[in-house]
Amino acid sequence: MTAAGCDEIFIDKASGKRASRSQLDKALSANRRGDQLVVTKLDRLRRSLEQLIELSKQLNTRGVDLVVLDQGIDTSTAVGRMFFR
């Protein structure tokens, strides 16, 4: 995460099956318009497609981009937005 240029790193050790996790909640609340939420793997963010779609909508509404390192997804680019949608 440091190599990816992250200023703050939040580590959640709870299962991704839970919809609410304390460190993820802190990371989401720390992000402001123009920020990026960087995760190592998409399945670390949410387990179900429904949860992922809802989170994606929330991030988009708040103007926060999503970067998934292992899949090369970066919604700050047109290609990344198209790929993720």
Q: What is the CATH number of the domain that holds 50?
A: 3.40.50.1390
What domain range is 46 assigned to?
A: 22-84
In a domain, 1, yes or no: no
Q: For the chain (length 85 residues), average pLDDT per consecutive 10?
A: 83 63 85 92 81 87 92 88 75
pLDDT at 65: 94
pTM reported for the whole predicted model:
0.79
H helix count then E strand count, the chain? 4, 3
What whole-number distance in Å separates Cα of residue 29 and Cα of residue 36?
A: 12
Task: Give the whole-number percent of the chain exceeding pLDDT 70.
Answer: 89
pLDDT at 43: 80
In a domain, 17, yes or no: no
